[in-house]
A and B are shown apart, each in its own frame.
Chain A
Amino acid sequence: MSMATTTVQPVERENYLNKHYGVGSWLFTTDHKRIALLYLISITFFFFIGGFFALLIRLELLTPAGDLVQADTYNKLFTMHGQVMIFFFLIPSIPAVLGNFLVPMMVGAKDLAFPRINLLSWYLYIIAGIMMLHCMLTGGVDTGWTFYTPFSTAFSNTKVIEAGLAIFVSGFSSILTGLNFVVTIHRMRAPGMTWSRLPLFIWAHYATSIIQILGTPVIAITLVLVVAERALHLGIFDPKLGGDPLLFQHLFWFYSHPAVYIMILPSMGVVTEIIACFSRKRIFGYTFVALSSIAIAVFGFLVWAHHMFVAGISVYAALVFSLLSYAVAVPSAVKVFNWTATLYKGSIHYDAPMLYAFGFLGLFTMGGLTGLFLSALGVDVHVHDTYFVIAHFHYIMVGGALMGYLGGMHFWWPKISGKLYPEGWARLAALIVFIGFNLTFFPQFILGYLGMPRRYYQYPPEFQVLNVLSTAGATVLAVGYLLPMIYFLWSMRYGKPAPDNPWNAAGLEWKTSSPPPTFNFDEEPVVTWEAYNYDELDAQTNKEEVPVAR
């Protein structure tokens, strides 16, 4: 089988980046790789907006008194930090950027199943983003990202409707991306690419897509109900109008708990690829890792009311949801054990992506274990709505999801850009992120157990020391996030050209050129090997010194 890598490379091979020029060639592209880059730029923009809000929050909390901003401003800051980070960064992050770029290539397809719908997803995201920006610039919203009723429908004087509709629209972007992935993975796999040969990144995205398709419509309709109650005074959630405020919480968390898995599952997929590559090994227990993704997606839909143990639900409902929450913890634990076992008797390299993967392992393990505290009914009563919860979900969603995202960006950057980033800086950034993250969020576990409530603009002075530590950590973390952006941009101009397979990694995406041609492969690949055939790859490298496909 002849592959792109075996041909002699011209000075600049035609690829998806240089095939067409001009703004129009980007805005009207249906190439999944270009759309991935459009997403990359957009979500990075929102990441830094959300990050800016986070820094203002941390600065305000440096002192116990409310002194930097007004109380109302602070309330808007944490609300919009949450909304921007969750709906405009984390949910699209790995699926819409790395997933978009890699899913077709990993299954050996020319593009996603519906390239134009893929572009439509991005436009919906941009429309939603503009609505959100407009909402922020014309006054913002102060309901908390959770939109709890009746505060959001009857009491808040801010732009609830606009924010709700922005998130409503962004939801369709997410649904369409999920739909595209499911169809692509089912219908467009290359000959020989059986389900058991799929990279685990694909399994993770498959599970994620199921949640996106089944969960997102629920948040969409819930937000419409909020808008209806606020604008038309239909009594749905407000008890004064005959509604039930707890109904809102059930509907909201029915999506918003699985949404956590939309953020973390793709990250798990990324980390699986990285660990296999830099251990030069087949993933330990492939089937279990694959099925645990599906198990998480399924069980993830059955645990929503663990956000409501003190909300006024019945004791028996609480018991059931606590029990099911432990059920969803098992597949997550299984994944951690399998990743650890993969390292056993490996040949481990410490390149930057692997450092991020190690960071992910550490932070996700801690995030997951503190989830056990929150699922324990008796303990949750105390730590619910305190900084303990804040620390827990940042360990999962920032420690886990964002570490995976950054690890993946480093791992596939040579493929995406065709350039190598400076390895030393990248390792340094991974270290800074890890240290800064722990310094920021570990003190918050203690704060929470001591009783500091979340969403407090001012707080009793005894909490100050831990808050100062946290703010100090946040500044370190900010440096860690700025660094990769700087050296990635730098590498696009000054970086060394990347070989087609700089890591000698398995996976079809490495068997085409860097950057890939518009239709990914010069010839349709035929897969005759198992996933993660690192033994064969390494055996060949030792013989020939160049990575070549069989």
Chain B
Amino acid sequence: MAGNVDALFIFLLIVSGMMTLLVFSAVVYFAARYRYRRGVPAEQIEGSIPLELTWSIIPLGVFMVIFAWGAVVYFKGRTPPRDSTEVYVVAKQWMWKLEHAEGQREINELHVPVNRDVKLIMTSQDVIHSFFVPDFRMKQDVVPGRYTVAWFRATKPGTYHLFCTQYCGTQHSSMIGSIIVMEPAQYEAWMSGGSPGPLSASGEKIFAELGCATCHRADAQGSGPSLQGIFGRPVLLADGRTVTADENYIRESILDPGSKVVSGFKPVMPTFQGLVSEEQLNALVAYVKSLSPGAEAATKTSAMAAPQSGPQARGNQVQ
């Protein structure tokens, strides 16, 4: 990641360095060469359309190269690879709460293995924050009321800065932490210490406690749609639209069930807004995802799962 961004940055430095040099040397040369001399009048020049076109079209061409290059880098940075390790991030004034799919919870610290793609599924409990790891050239705003997604792949073990870069109030500059990148063996050792069990398992417990299972029955006989295998699939809605069942859709369906009702079902589900915390929501989302094994990345074997012909990744929402 860092390499891609830096290469474009260096290209930009060269291009703008050349432009600066061109303009500055022209200004300095003209200013010296044509300084006022008594009896030497300025020569009036109207302008030149060929010149105007030249210095409009050439910069435009250069700009388009920069644009395309920047777009490619951005697109890569916004599209998490399929078999990424997943970490749920909940930001609040003024700390980062991180929860591994395997169940480990951390505050202001994130331990990750080297050379593994890590996907962050992030939301905020209060205001907008932003998850910024300068060394990974990675940044994504963390917005209340929805999930945003980012990913990175650390290539060198070490400890890296984590900054909040969206101003969030008094302790904004203290909302910092570390990303600790470990060798796989070390990481396994770290992971084996004191996990309360996978996130999806706590999600399953919450699912049962809240009585979700009464309607969302696995045998599709309930008054709500079955959740088996839905994650990452297109869902036909009652109003005729089709949406992809991604993290944001599951989240929205829990908090605001009436907004996107599945075709063939009645809008009878009550809202759980205010009844579940962000952490519980994450667990529920992880549980629903675990019902679609092909898309579930929490288990270590997910890389071997059958390739899925899911819909295209769109925006920050990946299938």
A residues apposed to B, CB below 8 Å = 66, 71-72, 75, 142-144, 146, 148, 150-151, 154-156, 239-240, 244-246, 279-282, 284-288, 309-316, 318-319, 322-323, 326, 329-330, 333-334, 336-338, 340-341, 343-350, 358, 361-362, 365-366, 369-370, 372-373, 375-382, 384-386, 449-451, 453-460, 534-535, 538-539
**Cβ contact within 8 Å between B146 and A66:** no
- Please report the C-alpha to C-alpha distance between residue A399 and residue B170 in the assembled complex, in whole angstroms: 30
What residues on A are CB-neighbors of B36 within 8 Å? Answer: 280, 347-349
Binary flags per residue of B50-94, CB closer than 8 Å to A gives 1, else 0 = 011001100110011011011111111111000000000000010
A337 touches B41 (CB 8 A): no
Q: Is the CB of A151 within 8 A of B127?
A: yes
Secondary structure of the A side of the interface?
helix
- Chain B, range 131-178, C-beta contacts under 8 Å to A: 132, 134-135, 137-141, 143-146, 148, 161, 163-174, 176
> Would you call B45 and A282 a contact (CB within 8 A)?
yes
Q: Answer whether A345 and B12 are a contact pair too, CB < 8 Å, given A240-B144, A378-B77, A451-B132.
A: no
Alpha-carbon gap, A192 to B172, bound state (A): 59
CA A287 to CA B26, docked complex, whole Å: 22
B145–A151 touching, CB < 8 Å: no
**Residues of chain B in range 1-46 having any CB-CB distance to chain A below 8 Å:** 4-5, 8-9, 12, 15-16, 19-20, 23-24, 26-27, 30-31, 34-37, 40-46
| Cβ-defined contact, B93 with A148, below 8 A | no
Task: Report B31 CB to chain A, min CB distance, Å.
Answer: 5
Of A312, A313, A333, A384, which one neighbours B165 at CB under 8 angstroms? A384
Instruction: With A347-B36, A534-B42 as known contacts, state yes or no: A314 contacts B137, CB within 8 Å.
Output: no
A453 to B172, CA, bound (A): 10
Tell whether, in the assembled complex, residue B55 and residue A378 are in contact, meaning their CB atoms are under 8 Å apart.
Answer: no
List the B side residues contacting A350 at CB < 8 Å.
31, 35
Do B127 and A365 touch (CB < 8 A)? no
Residues B27 and A343 in contact, CB atoms below 8 Å apart? yes
Does any Cβ of A come within 8 Å of B316's Cβ? yes
By a beta-carbon cutoff of 8 Å, the part of chain B in contact with chain A is 4-5, 8-9, 12, 15-16, 19-20, 23-24, 26-27, 30-31, 34-37, 40-48, 51-52, 55-56, 59-60, 63-64, 66-67, 69-79, 93, 126-128, 130, 132, 134-135, 137-141, 143-146, 148, 161, 163-174, 176, 314-316
Residue contact A456 to B172, C-beta cutoff 8 Å? yes
Distance (whole angstroms) from the CB of A56 to the closest CB of chain B: 16
Q: By the criterion CB–CB under 8 Å, are B173 and A456 in contact?
A: yes
> When chains A and B are docked, how far (Å) is the Cα of A310 from the Cα of B144?
14
Q: What are 7 A-B pairs with beta-carbon distances under 8 A?
A: A314-B315, A315-B78, A333-B56, A378-B5, A378-B71, A382-B5, A453-B173
Q: Is the CB of A379 within 8 A of B8?
A: yes
Instruction: Establish whether residues B161 and A345, one from each chain, have CB atoms under 8 Å apart when the complex forms.
Output: no
Cβ of A71 and Cβ of B316 under 8 Å apart?
no
Given A282-B46, A340-B30, A451-B161, A246-B143 contact (CB < 8 Å): yes
Q: How far is the CA of A349 from the CA of B35 in the complex (A)?
A: 6
Contact B63–A329 (Cβ < 8 Å): yes
Contact indicator A285/B9 (Cβ below 8 Å): no
Q: In the assembled complex, which residues on chain B have CB atoms less than 8 Å from the CB atom of A345? A: 34, 42-43, 45
Q: How far is the CB of A102 from chain B (nearest CB, A)?
A: 24
> Contacts of B172 on A, CB cut-off 8 Å?
75, 455-457
A535 near B24: Cβ-Cβ < 8 Å: no
User: In the complex the two chains form, is A369's CB within 8 Å of B170's CB?
Assistant: no
Chain A residues in 8 Å Cβ range of B59: 329-330, 333
A534, closest chain B residue (CB): B42
Pair A538/B77 contact, Cβ less than 8 Å: no
A245 touches B70 (CB 8 A): no
- Which 4 pairs from chain A and chain B are nearest by CB? A451-B134, A239-B145, A378-B73, A376-B70
B52 contacts A288, CB within 8 Å? yes
Q: List residues of chain A with CB within 8 A of the CB of B20.
A: 365-366, 369
B47 touches A288 (CB 8 A): yes
Contact yes or no, B26 A340, CB < 8 A: yes
Given known contacts A336-B23, A340-B23, A373-B12, A148 and B166 CB-to-CB distance under 8 angstroms:
yes
* Contact in complex: A281, B42 (CB < 8 Å): yes
Contacts between the two chains (Cβ within 8 Å), count: 279
Q: Are B27 and A239 in contact (CB under 8 A)?
A: no
Chain A residues whose CB sits within 8 angstroms of the CB of B8 once the complex forms: 376, 378-379
Partner of A458, one of B79, B166, B168, B173: B173
Shortest A133–chain B CB gap in Å is: 23
Contact B27 A381 (CB under 8 A): no
Q: Is the CB of A315 within 8 A of B134?
A: no
Contact of B55 with A333 in the complex, beta carbons under 8 Å:
yes
**A341 neighbours in B (Cβ, 8 Å):** 45, 47, 51
Q: Which of A284, A361, A377, A385 is the one whose CB lies under 8 Å from B23?
A: A361
Docked CA distance A379–B10 (Å): 10
Docked-complex contact A378 and B132, CB < 8 angstroms: no
Residue in B9, B132, B169 whose beta carbon sits within 8 Å of that of A385 in the complex: B132
Query: Of B132, B139, B144, B171, which is in contact with the most chain A CB atoms at under 10 Å from its CB?
Result: B139
A282, B47: Cα distance in complex, Å: 9
Q: Is B135 in contact with A451, judged by CB distance below 8 angstroms?
A: yes
Q: Is the CB of A376 within 8 A of B67?
A: yes
Assess whether B144 is in contact with A312, with CB atoms less than 8 Å apart: no
A340 touches B27 (CB 8 A): yes
Q: Which chain A residue shows the least CB distance to B47?
A: A285
Task: Report yes or no: A315 in contact with B170, Cβ–Cβ below 8 A.
Answer: no
The CA-CA distance from A379 to B171 in the complex, in Å, is 27
Q: Inside 8 A of A316's CB, which chain B residues have their CB?
A: 315
Q: Which residues of B contact A148 (CB under 8 A)?
A: 127-128, 166-167
Please give 12 more A-B residue pairs, beta carbons under 8 A apart, in addition to A343-B34, A369-B16, A377-B71: A285-B47, A312-B146, A313-B315, A315-B314, A315-B316, A344-B30, A347-B35, A361-B23, A378-B4, A382-B139, A385-B132, A450-B134
Residues on A with C-beta less than 8 A from B70 are 322, 375-380
CB of B16 within 8 A of CB of A310, answer no
Most buried by B among A239, A377, A455: A377
- A421 and B36 CA atoms in complex are apart in Å by 22
Determine the chain A residues whose CB is within 8 A of the CB of B66 once the complex forms.
326, 372, 375-376
A385 to B138, CA, bound (A): 12
Q: Find chain B residues with CB under 8 A from A154 CB.
A: 127
Asked whether, in the complex, the Cβ of A372 is within 8 Å of the Cβ of B15, the reply is: yes
A281 CA / B46 CA spacing, docked (Å): 10
Q: Is the CB of B143 within 8 A of A453?
A: no
Hey, which chain A residues are within 8 Å of B15, CB to CB? 372
Please indicate the chain B residues that have their CB under 8 angstroms from the CB of A71 in the complex: 170-171, 173-174
Residues of A with C-beta under 8 A to B5: 378-379, 381-382
Given A310-B130, A347-B40, A459-B173: A245 and B144 interface contact (C-beta under 8 Å): yes
Task: Name the CB-closest residue of A to B164.
Answer: A453
Query: Are B168 and A376 touching (Cβ within 8 A)?
Result: no
User: What residues of A have a CB within 8 angstroms of the CB of B144 in the complex?
Assistant: 150, 239-240, 245
Contact A385 B41 (CB under 8 A): no
Partner of B31, one of A282, A314, A348, A386: A348
The closest CB in chain B to the CB of A283 belongs to: B47
- The minimal Cβ–Cβ distance linking A195 to chain B, given in whole angstroms, is 17
Which A residues touch B128, using CB under 8 A? 148, 150-151, 245, 311
* Interface pair A460/B161, CB less than 8 Å apart: yes
CA distance A244 to B128 in the complex (A): 11
CB distance from B210 to the nearest CB of A (A): 20
Known: A245-B128, A372-B16. A330 touches B63 (CB 8 A): yes
CA distance in complex: A322, B75 (Å): 13
The answer for the CA separation of A459 and B46 in the assembled complex, in Å, is 53
**Nearest Cβ distance between residue A234 and chain B, in whole angstroms?**
16
The chain B residue with its CB closest to the CB of A451 is: B134
In the assembled complex, the Cα of A337 lies from the Cα of B41 at a distance in Å of 22
Q: How far is the CB of B73 from chain A (nearest CB, A)?
A: 3
Name the A residues within 8 Å of B169 (CB-CB). 75, 142, 151, 155-156
Contact (Cβ within 8 A) A155 B93: yes
